[in-house]
């Protein structure tokens, strides 16, 4: 499975010390150079910058060919490079959370996967404790989905655990 990531999902998984779920879910993650830069900006949490300095083998950084993609909506440079790279590699999915980028991903026939979807998939595979992960995300600056969506995820997770 070929998966390209934008900055946000990777950054926040690193912040809550759950980036390892990406390897378990997908094997390898590819990021464009711009995303790697964004993960090492001066305002980026030190934990994220340190992780990037000693990044695992399953994270690959590649140069994106920006001639492959012209956005129709306003998106940031990291997303633009992620989309170009995903198109070039014929990726199966793109990890992203920007609400303006999701329709653009769908227009390009790319499957967008949001951070909370990653968390729920990881919980379904017993890779994380979902309530603990969500509590950790609440302590960050991540823009949370609506509380009703979070509660629905937690309910599904509780039902899964009960049925094991």
**DSSP designation for 95:** E
**Cα separations (Å) of 87 from 14, 32, 40, 84, 106?**
26, 12, 25, 5, 12
Q: What is the pLDDT of residue 11?
A: 97
Q: What is the pLDDT of residue 22?
A: 98
Which is nearest to 83 in space by CA: 116, 108, 58, 100?
108
User: In sequence order, what are the residues at sequence separation of 6 or more whose Cβ sits closer than 8 angstroms to the Cβ of residue 43?
Assistant: none
Task: State pLDDT tens for residues 87-104.
Answer: 999 999 999 999 889 999
**Cα separations (Å) of 64 from 9, 72, 89?**
19, 18, 10
Burial label, 72 (beta-carbon count in 10 A; 0-12, 13-18, 19+): exposed
User: In sequence order, what are the residues at sequence separation of 6 or more whose Cβ sits closer than 8 angstroms to the Cβ of residue 19?
Assistant: 10, 13, 51, 56
Domains in the chain, start-ordered, CATH in brackets? 3-114 (3.40.50.1010), 117-162 (no CATH)
Task: State pLDDT tens for residues 103-133.
Answer: 999 999 999 999 999 999 999 999 999 999 9
Q: What is the pLDDT of residue 100?
A: 85
- Average pLDDT of 74-91? 94
Task: State pLDDT tens for residues 45-66.
Answer: 999 999 999 999 999 999 999 8
- Average pLDDT of 14-25? 98
Its pTM stands at 0.95
């Amino acid at each position: 499975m070929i998966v390209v990531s934008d900055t946000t999902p990777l950054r926040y998984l690193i912040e809550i010390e759950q980036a390892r779920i990406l390897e378990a879910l997908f094997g390898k993650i590819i990021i464009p150079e711009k995303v790697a830069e964004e993960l090492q900006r001066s305002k980026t949490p030190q934990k994220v910058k340190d992780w990037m300095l000693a990044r695992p083998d399953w994270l690959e950084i590649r140069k994106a060919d920006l001639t492959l993609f012209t956005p129709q909506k306003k998106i940031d440079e990291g997303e633009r490079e992620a989309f170009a790279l995903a198109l070039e590699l014929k990726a199966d999915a793109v990890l992203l959370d920007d609400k303006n980028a999701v329709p653009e991903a769908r227009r390009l026939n790319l499957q967008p996967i949001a951070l909370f979807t990653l968390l729920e998939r990881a919980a379904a595979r017993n890779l994380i404790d979902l309530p603990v992960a969500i509590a950790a995300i609440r302590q960050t600056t991540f823009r949370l989905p609506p509380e009703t969506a979070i509660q629905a995820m937690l309910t599904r997770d509780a039902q899964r655990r009960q049925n094991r």
